[in-house]
Amino acid sequence: MNRGNLRWIKKVNQIIVYILVILAVFLSIAPMVYLAITSFKEPELTFAIPPVWKFTPTLQNYDEVLSSTDFGKYFMNSIVVALVTTGIALSLGTLAAYGFSRFRFRGHFWLRMSSLVPQMLPPIAIVVPLYVLFNKLDWIDTRQALIVSYLTFTIPLSTWMMIGFFDDVPVELEEAAMIDGCSRFGALVRVSLPLAIPGMAATAILAFLYCWNEFLYAVILTGREARTLPVIITSFMTNKSVLWGRIAASGTLVLIPVLIFALLAQRYLIRGLAKGAIKG
């Protein structure tokens, strides 16, 4: 085989790779793009066959979503619950992850693994007892009930991810700080934490999204007051009809932060999930 031939094969290869990647991207985003397009259609066009791709966009669905529900209030619920939960989970998870990353002790591995157990609890199994508990505390339909429930999966997640990021921060830097008179906690705060900030941001984003997307606890533990957006989306499905236009509009609104965060955190997210179990 001569050189020209080889180069040609390489080129064809490259083109195939691009075609496949673009196909994967298309399959990934097409359903969501379709949802967004549907949200700008008049409801009558939603089910038009053959599908209508050229139409005058309308904000009718968005108008109806905003006027038929207290969308602003529920949006705030979603934001506040997700932010507070993320803040608490990230603090506790970062501390625990630091402990796992910097110390070796007996039972280290299994303790780390057991931090995942709350993640394994089927939400459907503990939502009834949680309901009973919050009922006793008079917390049904409050934001704090959701925050407490969401901590059960965000703390394990943050711990797990932050272990990977702390493993990436060289111990030597902390040791140097400690020789210079810093306590270990001081070294954590002044040296390692600043270096782990990208990791913390990625962890925070993922924890936020888990809360933002949660449905089962929200639908059972809240009523009129503390409802979050995923519950609102399903409220457009009634026994009589399914209001697809409104579902598409509210669904699109809910996905906006998801889109922003995916663009922001892509580089760090996966490394964090992957590294929690494996020493760096």
Partner 1 sequence: MNLTQRRVPISIRRALRKVEPAFYIAPAFIVLAIILVYPLGYALWLSFHQWTLRTFKQGIPFIGFENYRDLFSNPDFINSIKVTFTFVILAISFEFILGMLLALLLNQELKGRGLFRSMILLPMMCTNVVIGLMWRLLLNYQYGLVNYYLGQLGFLPVEWLSSPKVAMASVVLVDVWNTTSFVALMLLAGLQSLPDEPYEAARIDGASSLQSFVYLTLPLLKPIILVALLWRFIDTFRIFDVIYLLTAGGPARVTETVSIYVYRYGFQSFNLGVAAASSFIMLLIMLAISGLLARAIRREE
> Which is nearer to partner 1, 56 or 179 (by Cβ)?
179
Smallest gap, in angstroms, from Cβ of residue 38 to partner 1?
A: 7
Q: Where are the beta strands (DSSP E) in 63-151?
A: none
Q: How far is the CB of 180 from partner 1 (least distance, A)?
A: 11
Least CB distance to partner 1 at residue 100 (A): 7
Contact 272, 165 (CB under 8 A): yes
What are the Cα distances from residue 14, in Å, to 5, 10, 17, 20, 21?
14, 6, 5, 10, 11
Closest contact distance (angstroms) between CB of 57 and partner 1 is: 18
| 278 CB-near residues (< 8 Å, 6+ apart) | 164
Q: Which is nearer to partner 1, 17 or 171 (CB)?
A: 17
Nearer to partner 1 (CB atom), residue 57 or residue 229? 229
Distance CA 120, CA 71 (A): 32
If the CB atoms of residues 141 and 270 are measured against partner 1, the closer one turns out to be 270
- Smallest distance from the beta carbon of 90 to partner 1, in angstroms? 11
User: Cβ contacts of residue 202 below 8 Å, gap of 6+?
Assistant: 161, 165, 265, 268, 269, 271, 272
Smallest gap from Cβ 148 to partner 1, in A, equals 6
Looking at the Cβ atoms of 8 and 26, the one nearer to partner 1 is 26
Q: Which region, left, alpha or beta, applies to residue 49 given φ > 0 means left and ψ of -120 to 50 means alpha? A: beta
- Is the Cβ of residue 1 or residue 117 nearer to partner 1 in the bound state? 117
Of the two residues 80 and 133, which places its CB atom closer to partner 1 in the complex? 133
The tokens 């919050």 sit on which residue? 134
Phi then psi dihedrals of residue 238, to 5 deg: -110, 175
Partners of residue 242 on adjacent β-strands:
237
DSSP state of 242: B
Task: Look up residue 129 and give its amino acid.
Answer: P
User: Cβ 154 to partner 1, closest distance in Å?
Assistant: 10
Percentages of the chain per state (helix, strand, coil), in multiples of 5: 75, 0, 20
Residue that has been written with the tokens 């979603």 in this structure: 78
